[in-house]
Amino acid sequence: MILFVCLLLITGASSVLADEDIDSTDAGVTPDSAMYGLDKAMDSLSLALTFGNANKAEKGIKIAQERLMEAQEMADNDMPEEAEKAREEHQKAIEKAETELDELEEGDDADKSKEAMVKVARIQEKIESHYQKVSEVKDAILERMRDQKTPEQFAKMEEVFNKIKAKALEMETKTDAKKEKAKEKYKSNSGKNDAEVDAEEETIDKEIGLTKGREERAQKEINHAEEATVKAKGKLKAEKDKGSDISDFEEELEDVEQEIETAKKAKDNGDNKDARNIAEKIKEFGNEVSVIATKLGEARKAGNFDEVKAQLNAQIEARHDEKLNWILENAPEERKQGIEKTMEDSEERRLNNTASKKPEGAGNPKN
């Protein structure tokens, strides 16, 4: 009787999963606990008692979110091995969700294929929300650890969260592809044209909250990009005030920073996923420049500023070009010409800087 009641509770919990905000998920039992094996077993049982491929996929993402929070807690408690265990369990949860997504049928008539579009849209909202949380957790953890850990310790934790983020993005990409398949099936079954199917998709996305969720995530990432570039500029200025010549880095940052307007334009056009992705690239670049500013300060104190600056300048130029090329490929058409002009000006500036560069050994900035 007790077992029966427990099963009912688990089944009931799974039935309301689709309406639950995964952002409310906490770590619960963590890998350092003797009860962790039981916790995983209960999650597996709950997943087994969840019916329907779409519901199972959403449940898998919910479990993955719990594993993410476990990894965060283990990282906060300086337990890298346990964080890696949580990362492995996160991967398993996402892979189970991907399997259920793949097995979700697109439907053999118009009503069923439209229903499939609704189900996939719900999964899109869950996995995109999860990806956003992964990105935020990763940034917070690495920011805290950067100055507290050895390079080896930091690299190990960075690898853990890079893998978690890559796995979440992998499923997001697969979910987008599944949505396209469902749309094609609906188009075939209903006899509607592309414009009509797109209109149906837009209605579905609004009704299940995907459109609003994407708008919020795009704005949040734009805010993060602005914060990251402001922070990077502040760090560069602090180094400049100590006599360091960091003009090259300032110019590279300015080039990428101005593409925040590209992200905002994409958002204004309703291309919220593109806006989120563009802003994320800008944020990453800003964070990288902040790290470089710190390394330049260390080099100045160590007396090898010119050597380190040359190495870091080559690194940031490559990253600058990589980011702008990616943004160019994903930008609204009306922004592409401006980005191309920025890239041309950047290349010309580098050539001029190289031609006018003073001889090596001209001196180190003051300590």
Does residue 61 surpass a pLDDT of 50? yes
The domain in which residue 98 lies consists of 1-208
Instruction: Output the CA–CA distances (angstroms, integers) from residue 223 to 159, 237, 280, in the order listed.
Output: 25, 21, 10
Does residue 16 surpass a pLDDT of 90? no
What's the residue count for the chain?
367
Q: Count the domains in the chain.
A: 2
pLDDT, residue 330, reads: 87
Of 159, 192, 208, which one is at a domain's C-terminal end?
Answer: 208
Q: Quick one: 204 and 227 in the same domain? A: no
Q: Quick one: 162 and 220 in the same domain? A: no
Reported as a pLDDT band with limits 50, 70 and 90, residue 24 is: low
Q: Quick one: 112 and 155 in the same domain? A: yes
Enter the DSSP assignment of 149.
S
Rounded to 10°, the helix 210-240/247-257 angle is 160
pLDDT, residue 146, reads: 86
Instruction: Give 202-210 contacts, CB < 8 A, sequence gap 24+.
Output: 204/114, 204/117, 204/118, 204/121, 205/121, 208/118, 208/121, 208/122, 208/125, 209/125, 210/121, 210/122, 210/124, 210/125, 210/128
Whole-number Å distance between alpha carbons of 136 and 140: 6
Does residue 366 surpass a pLDDT of 60? no
Lowest mean pLDDT among 116-130, 131-145, 327-341: 327-341
Reported as a pLDDT band with limits 50, 70 and 90, residue 26 is: confident
Does residue 143 surpass a pLDDT of 70? yes
71, 161 Cβ separation under 8 angstroms: yes
Q: Quick one: 93 and 128 in the same domain? A: yes
Whole-number Å distance between alpha carbons of 304 and 308: 6
Of 186, 208, 230, which one is at a domain's C-terminal end?
Answer: 208
Of 177, 208, 239, which one is at a domain's C-terminal end?
Answer: 208
Q: Quick one: 161 and 254 in the same domain? A: no
pLDDT, residue 148, reads: 85
Nearest to 161 by CA among 143, 142, 148, 144: 142
**Residue 170 CB contacts under 8 Å (≥ 6 apart), including other chains:** 94, 98
Q: Quick one: 255 and 230 in the same domain? A: yes
Mean pLDDT of the chain: 89
Q: Quick one: 219 and 183 in the same domain? A: no
Q: Quick one: 345 and 356 in the same domain? A: yes
**Residues 72-103: tens digit of each pLDDT:** 999 999 999 999 999 999 999 999 999 999 99
pLDDT, residue 358, reads: 55
Lowest mean pLDDT among 19-28, 39-48, 86-95: 19-28
Q: Quick one: 172 and 270 in the same domain? A: no
Does residue 15 surpass a pLDDT of 70? no
Q: Please give the share of the chain, as a percent, with pLDDT higher than 70.
A: 90
Q: Quick one: 336 and 281 in the same domain? A: yes
Q: Quick one: 27 and 144 in the same domain? A: yes
pLDDT, residue 11, reads: 45
Q: Quick one: 317 and 269 in the same domain? A: yes
